[in-house]
Amino acid sequence: MRLQKLFSLIIGLLFLFALSNAAWAQQTISGKIIDQSNHKPLAGAHIHWSEGDLTTITDANGTFSFTADANKFTIRITYIGYKSKTVQLTTSDITDEIRTIYLRKSTEAMSPVTVLARKSSHQPDQFMDAISTVNLSHDAGQFLKDSPNISGIRKGGGFGVDPVLRGFKKNQLMVEMDGVLQSQGACPNRMDPPTSHVQMEHIEEVEILKGPYALKHGPSFGGIINFKSQQPDYYSDPVLSSYFTVGYESNIDRQRYAGGIKKEGGRWTTNLYGAFASTENYEDGSGNSVNAGMSNAEYTVETSVQINDANSIKAKLSQNFARDVQYPALMMDMREDNITNATLTYTNTNLGNGRFESSFFGSYVAHVMDNLDRQMSNMVEAVTDLSTETYGYDLSYVLPTASGNWTLGTDATLRNMEGFRTRDFSMGPMAGQTVTDNVWQGGKRNRFGGVVEYQPNISAWNVVLSSRFDYYYSNASNPDAYFAQTLGQLDQDHLGWSASAGFTKDLRSNWTTGFWVGRSERYPGMDELFVNYLAIGMDPYEYVGNPQLNSEANHQVDAMLNYTNEVISIEGSLFYSYVTDYISATVRPDLNPKQMGAPGVKQFVNVDEAALYGFELTFQNNGRNKLGYNLSTAYTIGRNITADEDLPQIPAYEANLKLDYSFLSGKLIPQLHLRGVAEQRRVAESFDEQPTDGYLLTHFKVSSQLGRGIQLSAGVNNLFDVTYHEHLNRSLQGSTLPLNDPGRSLFVELKWNGTLSSL
């Protein structure tokens, strides 16, 4: 009996020991993932616990938790656009408090990328704040030129600057808003490129993804420019705030007024903001007057609702109205341009342990241009009335697994374009007659795509593998009879394939390296398919589309090496792009132009082989002292291999040096900006491209904080009144004279941003 009691006691003690041991081993670890730059929580970050082979994602507040019988946690955190992080914890590190883990935005994730974004220090670097930027341009294309290896094609005084990235331009670039391909201009001469539809006042950062790698955004060819608006703040206490900007610039007589009011915090946010800008003619460095008048008004209304911790909905409506925009390099001016964009986004951060996001968008552009202010109107008055409708969706699902993160997505863009040019002749043999030209011929261009992306969990490596297919269909629903007769079949369909692979790896001693390889196809744009006898090139020829063009295929490699410590950052990159079926244009001697003065007609054609290659290099300090400096330089070479000729519209070598100094604890900051551009002798003679000389510009500005939320800035652009023009500027219409940029110009700007009340 005693033996039985002793045995029972031993069993009981062992049982209690097992329970206590189980209770000791049952550990719960909780964490919160925070953006290091703005301290906002990151919803939908992927958290993988290696020992338990479990994966979860953060909720709307950026929090996560694991509960398991373990005394060791090795956690790997990944979030698209941020540098992955691995954290190792033991039982001694685990407390009842939620552990905060910071992620840093990465220029190494996904693909070679530059971010013009909000910066936390005063240093003038590539992380540029589009909200507090001094003398913010009213045109997004002009703003982008602060990024290395981005230039712009300019045809007017400053509105409608068409960006060129590493020599890729126009339809070779995708312009998105919050990751969604949205509006497309209606003008065949790109008076209104997609960047002209962007309202810069509410843009928080611009993400520039270079090369054919970020395929989840779409069939990226030469690169993607993604304008990211300010994100809803559900995490702070509700407040009502507002801001306004008043600015003036001499020489071009630019006036800019912008303001907004927003409710933030709590379960819903609402923003209303708008801006107005106008310019007049300016003088170049030699005192010559250049037509540059325009006015532009815009507004945006957006609201977002956080239904619960996992589900949110966001709706946005924006409109932009441009009037009387002068284009001295073109045959017409833009009389009006009216744009309406609407987007509806639904996000679920915890659908089947994954993140689901859907966006539906629509855009309508009405564009009118004429020559009524030109001398040519005495002979013939020409008015062109055009429109573009764009609709589409973007659906994606990101699923974290033990082996890595999978992204499945589908997207579509449907585009219709209409428009006619009416010419009333008052002189010559056609006096009294009216001719109507069918500009877009009811062009349609539809795309449906699907993408798969995989990011495996490999220690010390960030690896991305992706592939996508896109189906295209194009047709002219209202073709011009002469166009159809001379150019043949108008409809076409095509299945395109794109793929990319890349990695970044942290090396010892603060070094990081990366390498990417990709292939992507670009289906021809609407102008390349259906434009009908219009002078839309850099030369005076009329152009006609080619409905049976082949898609371009870009085969590209990028290599990057980066060094960063607490004092300095150095980043260098090399790229080489080999393009097959490159879309160019050649003279068609059998076709006759429709307007006087055109030397002939060119048609878009495929060129067997072309190549673009170059480098970028940046050197900057990291804000550890009062002196800030940033040096950036970039160069691209483009070659038509088949014709043994340079490609047209390739920017010249450029270097920028920015120096600033912080006085009075950052309340007074002067900045000196030197910009040197080399001569460009690599030109395409078949497009009548002319060489350009080099130049050195000096800009100076001072920013001061007058009080809480009040900033006063002033400065001078082109301090020494240099006469110059960018290589990509078009020539003045009807001549080979260059479109010069503005001479010396003074500016002043006042900004206020503050809280009105708590709610």
Burial class (CB in 10 A: 0-12, 13-18, 19+), 742: buried
3-state secondary structure 258-325: EEEEEEECCCEEEEEEEEEEEECCEECCCCCEECCCEEEEEEEEEEEEECCCCEEEEEEEEEEEEEEE
Let me know: does 542 contact 601? Beta carbons within 8 Å: yes
Burial class (CB in 10 A: 0-12, 13-18, 19+), 443: buried
Q: Count of alpha carbons within 13 Å of 182, Cβ hemisphere only?
A: 31
Let me know: does 739 contact 538? Beta carbons within 8 Å: no
Instruction: Give the separation between CA 610 and CA 342, rounded to whole angstroms.
Output: 38
Let me know: does 70 contact 26? Beta carbons within 8 Å: no
Instruction: Give the separation between CA 693 and CA 149, rounded to whole angstroms.
Output: 18
- pLDDT score at 20: 41
Instruction: Give the separation between CA 94 and CA 720, rounded to whole angstroms.
Output: 62
- pLDDT score at 313: 96
Residue 608 Rama label (left phi>0; alpha psi -120 to 50; beta): alpha
Cβ neighbours of residue 502 under 8 Å, at least 6 residues apart?
A: 110, 111, 213, 463, 464, 514, 515, 516, 517, 518, 558
**In the chain, where does the domain assigned CATH 2.60.40.10 lie?**
24-103
- pLDDT score at 555: 98
- pLDDT score at 106: 60
Rounded to 5°, the CA angle 294-728-658 comes to: 85
Give residue-wise pLDDT tens across range 329-383.
Answer: 999 999 999 999 999 999 998 888 788 999 999 999 999 999 999 988 899 999 9
Give residue-wise pLDDT tens across range 415-468.
Answer: 999 999 999 999 888 888 999 999 999 999 999 999 999 988 887 788 899 999
- pLDDT score at 95: 59
- pLDDT score at 445: 96
Divide the 759 residues of the chain into consecutive groups of 10 and give the mean pLDDT of each group: 46 42 56 78 78 75 75 75 74 66 63 62 31 60 84 86 94 90 86 87 85 92 90 82 92 93 90 93 95 94 91 94 94 95 92 90 96 91 96 93 89 96 90 92 96 87 92 94 83 95 86 94 95 91 94 96 88 96 95 88 96 95 81 96 96 94 88 96 94 96 87 94 95 86 95 82
- pLDDT score at 481: 86
Secondary structure class of 4 (helix, strand, coil) = helix
Burial class (CB in 10 A: 0-12, 13-18, 19+), 681: exposed
Helix (H) or strand (E) holding 14: helix 2-25
Cβ neighbours of residue 140 under 8 Å, at least 6 residues apart?
A: 195, 196, 198, 200, 203, 227
- pLDDT score at 133: 54
Helix (H) or strand (E) holding 409: strand 404-425
Handedness of CA 219, 495, 498, 469 (dihedral sign): positive
Instruction: Give the separation between CA 519 and CA 469, rounded to whole angstroms.
Output: 12
Instruction: Give the separation between CA 744 and CA 726, rounded to whole angstroms.
Output: 16
- pLDDT score at 147: 82
Let me know: does 634 contact 652? Beta carbons within 8 Å: no
Residue of 262, 177, 166 lying closest to 222 (CA atoms) = 166
Residue 592: how many other CB atoms lie within 10 Å: 11
Burial class (CB in 10 A: 0-12, 13-18, 19+), 643: middle
**In the chain, where does the domain assigned CATH 2.40.170.20 lie?**
113-232+254-758
Instruction: Give the separation between CA 487 and CA 592, rounded to whole angstroms.
Output: 13
Helix (H) or strand (E) holding 522: strand 511-522
Fold of the CATH domain 24-103 = Immunoglobulin-like (2.60.40)
Single-letter amino acid, residue 114? T
Question: CATH number of the domain at 113-232+254-758, please?
Answer: 2.40.170.20
Give residue-wise pLDDT tens across range 518-573.
Answer: 999 999 999 999 999 999 998 999 999 999 999 999 999 999 999 988 888 899 99
- pLDDT score at 9: 44
